[in-house]
Amino acid sequence: MHGRHCARRGRQRSEGPLTGRCEHCEWYAIERSHAAMVKSYQDHLREEHPDAWVRA
């Protein structure tokens, strides 16, 4: 009846900065949201890896 002492440990940081890495080079970015991360990565691909960007 007293087994809920660990309930708070299941809470992950859901609003912390996200780190995204490029699979083609050493580029990475830190954004606050997944949407921002996707946009940054798409911009990077378009500029640095146009071939990969076209296929994505």
User: Residue 43 Cβ, how far from Zn ion at the closest point, in Å?
Assistant: 11
Identity (one letter) of the amino acid at 36? Answer: A
Nearer to Zn ion, 35 or 56 (CB): 56
Contacts of 55 (CB under 8 A, 6+ apart): none
Choose the stretch contacting Zn ion; rule: CB under 5 A; options: 2-10, 13-21, 31-39, 43-51: 43-51
Contacts of 48 (CB under 8 A, 6+ apart): 22, 24, 25, 27
Residue from 25, 35, 38, 56 in contact with Zn ion (CB under 5 A): 25
The site for Zn ion (CB under 5 A) is made up of 22, 24-25, 27, 48
